[in-house]
Structure formats: structure tokens, C-alpha cells
Amino acid sequence: MEATALSGKQAGSCSKIINCKHCGSPCSADNSFCSPSCKAAHLADSDTSAPILFSPAATADEKGEFQLELGIEGIHCASCIRLIENALAENPDVTAARVNMSTERLTVAWRGTQARGDALAHQVQQLGYRLYDLNVKNDASTASDAEKELIRAIAVAGFAAGNLMLLSVGLWTSTAEAMGMATRELFHWLSALIALPTVIFAGRPFFRSAIAVLKSGHTNMDVPISLAVTLACVMSISEIIRGGEHVYFDSAVMLLFFLLIGRYLDARAKGKARQSASRLLSKLAGTATVFENGNLVQRPVKDLAAGMRVLIAAGENVPADSTVCKGASDIDMSLINGETMPLSASSGTPVFAGTLNLTAPIEAIVDKVSNKSLLSEIVRMMEVAEQGAAKYVRLADRAAALYTPVVHAFGALTFLGWWVLMQAPWQVSLLHSVTVLIITCPCALGLAVPVVQVLASGELLKSGILLKSGDALERLSKVDTVVFDKTGTLTLGTPELVKGTYSEDHMQMAASLASHSRHPLSKALAAAFSGTLLDAEVEEVPGKGLSATVAGLTVQLGSRIWCGPEGGTEDTDLELWLNMEGTPAARFTFADTLRIDAADTVRKLHQMGLDTRILSGDRQATAKRVADTLGISETIAEVSPTEKCAYLNALKAEGKHVLMVGDGLNDAPALAAADASMSPSSAIDIAQNTADIVFQGDKLTPVVQSIYIARRSTKLVRQNFGLAVAYNIVAIPLAVAGFVTPLIAAAAMSGSSLIVILNAFRLKKRAKI
Amino acid sequence: MDVLLYLIPIALGLGAIGLVGFLWTMKNNQYDDMEGAAHRILLDDEDEEPTVKENEDGKKGGS
């Protein structure tokens, strides 16, 4: 099977014939790449002349083996995994090589010297995958340790709860006379034998938190939980010894089981959010390739100092504000000024941190330390804004704050009531007070939020919407004003070819050249062409265009100044000229198009009763034109990042709840300042990192969908709280009056939990818009 | 009621086997990379010459 030149572009098709050296998709035998763009990307990725030093990050274990964990980008499918793992495993000294697709990490272990790690890393880079140091020591591993502990606790509690139920059903359904005193005693002791170790093991997360919070002189939900579980066990043991009728082991263990599930779901949602955030952060902080005594060394960006000489490969971000000293290339400045068109840079041109080097490797001298760069200024502004937004208190926390004192008060009053008023023996009084604690225990309360949240984020994920923080849904549901950025948010941010007067032949020629370049206009041109490409030896002239010899003809594709006709006053930014044998042949113009469903989205938002605005750094006229097309009444244009942030704060001061949708660096502070924020996945890392929600694809519908699901899930959470309260109103009087037997406690507890879970599932049923 | 004397240990034992099995898979990090595991199933077991074997298309021991 021979793949055509273009169809092999989609990495992920996993054939084993001959794999493209870059993306792993199949390609013809005489070619090691499936498409010109893969070849270009591959060459760009691997064109660093000297190997980069990763080995200092390697750790040695006691057997003299070294292990290195690196972040890896560009893994799409099984053939990528195989390619990397097999290539590494072929080295006799490599003992283990493992790619983790979920976390995008590569772990490799080897025997021998530490420096060997660089050669191994280089081998992977040669395959066309980008490696980066995990220099940001994130707490992901401790978080997953906590998750694992919770799962173990759930497993043990589930096992114990099942078996205790088995015994309890026997106890409930027969009387002491029918089953005999000895058998009942046996069942009681067996229950104790199963329950006590379980409570000690599975209850640790709650006990730990309760003790910690009590030490600091506060109280939280875990205090009544720990108290109820402990007292239930102690009371039950004393009941067995006294030869009593009722034991509450099953209630205690089931309580732990349900609460652990809620706790796990909560931790999982938070962990996911933290994971995606830390991955973005480590890319952002990143490393720079620095010349040091003739070697190329990877250094964390924060360690860069003025005067250092850095190498910036094509496709890499500029690590610090610096001046180019060697080479020429095009720099994508969209991060700083929002412009779609790249700046051509050569020796002496200043470049800014965070901008993207597009065409060729360059060397530059660092001017400013990284924490004084333009980028860091904006980051700092963002952090200030974030601190202001962090004051939000979750609904669940407010409920817990109310719940804890009420439950304790009820427990204490029951005890005093029975002991003092009813003159009951203290054991009986304590028993009733414990049942109050057990039955009011927040199973439903503990599940109400996490279950809805997990279902909602699952539902969103199906549509390619990534929810990054747990309480974002709650904040999003309150939103009444939506503020859009223009470039990259309402528009696609990438230029598209506008139909012109060029002929098919010219188009074919231009596309053949363009497919060799990563310049945005070239990419747009190549993407617009679907026929067969001509064979061409293409040379990229940085800052000017492309030049090639095709069938004996000299062909140029580039800017008007380089190969277009003289003169002309039209807008020359978004155009390319094709020049054959020295005569300008065709002009290709481009435009930044609106997202296809932008107007539809705005209309739907209006229907939902939301106010919409445009907040853009672009020219007033351009922004106004977009606003008029979409039916957005209020436009604020020509604003700086600081003004954007100030505008949002002003809106908030008016008492509005604002959702900010933006994608650029200039939006980042505004995203942080807003009540809720969204970014398309095409946005720059820092915007994605700041936003609560990141959505994929070329459509804007996710904004509507997220708000819809957020409103719906918040409503369900409220309903669930309502159900939990209603259940307590019925159950508490029964418990206070002393009518609650272990059977009623068990039924009430699982019943309320099930109702809450089932209610949460209604989200799935009606989530269609 | 004598039947309980061996039924209960059996019931507990079976449950415990499942529990221990689960804890073992956890300890073995079998849940670390769920996404990768879904893709890895498509890979053949690591052979000496995986590419050659594929091109033979079932004919064993060909030249």
C-alpha cells in the first residue's frame, strides 16, 4: 500500500510498512517521510548540531543503574510508542524504556555512566520527538500517591462492607430465638473482626485530617465522621460484651465506603486539573539551549543571565528578551502584539521572550534576565489578578461549615436529653447519640458535589472541553456577561486563502513551494490546495520567502518587496506573490476568518440571557466590523493588557459576573481577573494555563455548552443538597427518639446515597442542547 | 447451622483473593497509563525482526 503524498499527514494511522521518520505514518519505500511538512518538521526538530545535555537530571539507584524521566511531545499512537521503546531497547546497556502516554513522559534506565543519558536522549530526538526537562518539580507524584491510598482504602472498605452486609442481613432477618444466642454472638464477633481492622485502615484519611484540623483549633467535616465511626465501633464492642442486640459495624464501614468514593472522585477531579496545569507550566517555564565552553547545555529559563549566548531552534520559543547575533529567521510575534504576520529577524534584531522562532535556527545574546522580560511582567500582573479571584468559597465548603456544628449540637443534645431528661442509663443515652451521628453523617452530602462534577466534566470532555478547576462550573453558572477577545477567539487567528484571480497551474506551483515552509501564509496556501504536489528543491530565504527550481524554471514565492511588482498601495500584510523566471505571476491574498459558528454562538448566548462584549487590542474599525457581523453591541478596542484587566475589574465592581474568553498573552491577566475563563486549545500556553476551561476544535459552541452544563450541574448540586437535607429532617427525629435500629440506619444511608447519585445522572440524560 | 462453619470462611476467602489481586495490580502500577495501554494492545509482541514478519504476511520462514 502506497500512501499518497498528503494523506499520510495524519499521525495515528498505524501501519508497519515503512514509517515516516517524523510522525510514524506509512509512506512510500523511497522516502523516509510521509509528507514534505513532516520532513521540514523533522529537520527543524533535529537540527541542533550538538547533543543537548539532559543527563544531569538522571538519578542513580543502589544497583548503579541510572534513571532519567523526561517530558516528551508528539506521541500520537502505538507506533510512536513502539518506535521509541524499540530504538532505546536496542542499546544493550538500556535496562528499561517506557513511554507513558497519559502523562506524556519517557522513563529510561541504563547501566554505565551518567553521561550516557545524553546519547539516549539524542537518539529519541533523532526520531523526531521533542524532549524537555521536567525541571518544574511538580507535586503530581504525591497527589497520585494520595489517590492510590484512597483507592486501596475503597477496595478494603468495599470488601468489608460487602461481607458485613452478608452477616448483617442474617442478623436483621431473624430473631435471637430463631438463630440461637451462640450463632448471634458468632456473627457479632465475626463482624467486629472484619470491621475493626477495616476502620483502622480505611478511616485513616479522615482521622488524619480530623486530628490535623483539631490541632489547629478548627473543625471540618472529617471531625463528625471520625467521631461517628469511632464511637460506633466502641459502642458496638461494648454491646457485644454486654450481650446486647444491636451492633453498628456495618453502618460504620458502609459510611466509610461511601465517603471514600466521594473523596476519591473529588481528589481525581482536582488531580486532573493540577496535572494539566503543571504540564502546561513545565512547558512554559521550559529550558533554553545555552552555549557553555563550546558545549550546548540545557538550562532552566530562570537561570539565564544577561550576556549568555543561546541557540533557538526553528519551532522553539525565544527563552528571554535577547538580540539575534547569528542567522536569520521569521519570528512569530503574535504572543506580544497579536499580529498574525511574523517579523523577519536577522543579526541585530531584538526578539522577545515567548515569541516563536519559525523558519531557521538562530543564535542570540540574552539582554535581560528572564524575570525582567516582557513576558514575566504580564505573568506577574496575572498572579496579582489571580489572588483577587481566589476568594471564592465553594458551595460544598459553605454547606460543610454549616453542617458540622449542627450535627455536633444534635449529638450532644440527644445524649443530654436522654440522660438528664429521660433519666436513661448513660450507655443507652450514648447509643442514641451515636446513632444520630451515624445517620446524619454526610454520605449524601459528601457525594452530592463530586458525583455531579465528575459526570459534568466527563460530559464536557466528550465534546473536547477540558475542565481545569473543580469549582469552575459553579462560577461559570453564575456568569451574566461574556467578554470575547477578537483575534484567535472569535476569529480562527490563522490566515486563510481568499479566492483570487490566480490560475490552477499557479496554485499548484505555489502550493508545492509552500508545503516546504512553516510560515503561516505558506501553511494556509498549502492547506488550501488538494491536488498533487510538484517535486521541487526548495530553499527558504528567511524573512523573504521561498525559492526553487522546478522543471528548469526559477520560481519564487514571497513578499511583494522581494518578488512582487513595483509599487502598489494595497494592504501588503496578508499576501504572497508567485514569481516565475523574474516576472510576477500571481497574487494570493489571505484573511483571518471568523469561526464558523461565531454568530450562532453569540445569538445563543443572548437567548440564554447573557450580555456579550468584545475586548480587543486590535484597531477600533476592525473590532467594530466583527462586532457588527456578530450582533455584539459593545466593543472596546485598542486596549493594552493592563486596560483589559482593569476593564474586567470595573465590570466586576458593577456587580456583574464575567466570563472571559481569550487566547493571547495580552488576554492572560484578564482571564485571571474574570470570574470564569475559557481558552481555545490553539491559545498560547500561558492563556491555557490561566483559563478554567480549555476547549478544542475550530468551533465556539463549547462556550454555550459549558455554560449550559455548568448551570445544569449547579442546579443538580443544589437539588442534591436539598435531598440530603430532606433526608436528615426525616431521619434525625427518628434517631433522637431512639427508633433507629442498625437496619434502618443502613437502609437510610445507602438509600440517600443512591438517590443523590441517581439524581446526578440526570445530567447525562438532558445534556443535549 | 454447621454449614456456616465452612461457608463463611469460603465466602470471606474468595472476597479476600479478589481484594489481594486488586491491591497487587495497583502495586504493580498497572493503572498508571490507561491511555497507553489502550494503544499498546495494537502492538505485536516484541519480536527479533518485527518489520520482516509483517511483510511476510503469514508465510512463516520465507526468505
- Contact in structure between A670 and A386 (CB atoms under 8 Å): no
Chain A residues touching B42 at Cβ < 8 A = 14, 77-78
| CB contact A169 to B (< 8 Å) | no
Q: Mean of the pLDDT values across residues A421-435?
A: 83
Largest CA distance in chain A: 110
Query: What pLDDT does A3 receive?
Result: 37
Per the rule left: phi > 0, alpha: psi between -120 and 50, beta: everything else, A294 is left
Structural domains of chain A in order of their starting residue, each with its CATH number: 55-134 (3.30.70.100), 286-372 (2.70.150.10), 458-492+595-712 (3.40.50.1000), 494-593 (3.40.1110.10)
The answer, yes or no, to whether residue A579 has pLDDT greater than 70, is: yes
Chain-chain contact of B26 with A151 (C-beta, under 8 angstroms): yes
The answer, yes or no, to whether residue A200 has pLDDT greater than 70, is: yes
Q: Cell triple for residue A220?
A: 471540618
Chain-chain contact of B46 with A190 (C-beta, under 8 angstroms): no
Residue-wise pLDDT for A128-144, tens only, equals 787 776 654 444 566 67
The answer, yes or no, to whether residue B43 has pLDDT greater than 60, is: yes
Higher pLDDT, A570 or A750: A750
Residue-wise pLDDT for A641-675, tens only, equals 778 888 888 998 898 899 999 887 778 888 888 88
Which of A80, A104, A106, A166 best tests the B interface by mutation, with the highest count of B CBs <10 A? A166
Q: Cell triple for residue A708?
A: 449550559
d(CA B52, nearest CA chain A) in Å: 9
Query: What pLDDT does B41 receive?
Result: 81
What is the residue extent of each domain of chain B? 3-55
Query: What pLDDT does A37 receive?
Result: 45
ipTM of the complex in this document: 0.72
DSSP A56: G
Rounded to an integer, what distance in angstroms lies between the CA atom of residue A165 and that of residue A187?
A: 11
Residue-wise pLDDT for A277-308, tens only, equals 555 555 555 667 788 777 777 776 767 778 88
Chain-chain contact of B36 with A101 (C-beta, under 8 angstroms): yes
Interface of B with A (CB under 8 A): 1, 4, 8, 11-12, 15-16, 18-19, 22-23, 26, 32-36, 39-40, 42-43, 46, 50-51, 54-55
Q: Which of A504-518, A698-712, A718-732 has the lowest mean pLDDT?
A: A504-518
| CB contact A166 to B (< 8 Å) | yes
| Residues near A105 by beta carbon (within 8 Å), at least 6 away in sequence | A69, A70, A71, A72, A99, A134
Query: What pLDDT does A673 receive?
Result: 85
| Residues near A414 by beta carbon (within 8 Å), at least 6 away in sequence | A429, A432, A433, A436, A735, A736
Q: Which of A250, A330, A485, A592 is catalytic?
A: A485
Per the rule left: phi > 0, alpha: psi between -120 and 50, beta: everything else, B17 is alpha
d(CA A227, nearest CA chain B) in Å: 27
3-state secondary structure of A693: strand
Q: Cell triple for residue A340?
A: 498574525
Q: Mean of the pLDDT values across residues A680-695?
A: 79
Q: Mean of the pLDDT values across residues A22-38?
A: 48
Q: Cell triple for residue A258?
A: 461511601
| CB contact A197 to B (< 8 Å) | no
Q: Which helix H or strand E contains A465, and what residues bound it?
A: strand A465-467
Chain-chain contact of B26 with A81 (C-beta, under 8 angstroms): no
Q: Which of A10-14, A194-198, A241-245, A254-258 has the lowest mean pLDDT?
A: A10-14
d(CA A83, nearest CA chain B) in Å: 11
Provide, rounded to the nearest whole percent, the portion of chain A with pLDDT above 70.
81
Q: Which of A38-42, A100-104, A586-590 has the lowest mean pLDDT?
A: A38-42
Q: Mean of the pLDDT values across residues A588-594?
A: 79
- Annotation marks residue A485 as catalytic: yes
Which alpha helices (DSSP H) does A515-585 contain, by range?
520-528, 560-563
Higher pLDDT, A439 or A609: A609
pTM above 0.90, yes or no: no
Q: Cell triple for residue A405?
A: 456544628
Which of A141, A150, A159 best tests the B interface by mutation, with the highest count of B CBs <10 A? A159
d(CA A681, nearest CA chain B) in Å: 20
Interchain CB contacts (distance < 8 Å): A and B: 61
The answer, yes or no, to whether residue A269 has pLDDT greater than 90, is: no
The answer, yes or no, to whether residue A470 has pLDDT greater than 80, is: no
Residue-wise pLDDT for A689-701, tens only, equals 778 888 888 888 8
Chain A residues touching B10 at Cβ < 8 A = none
Residue-wise pLDDT for A741-754, tens only, equals 778 887 888 888 88
Q: Which of A3-12, A156-165, A455-464 has the lowest mean pLDDT?
A: A3-12
Chain A CA closest to residue B11: A163
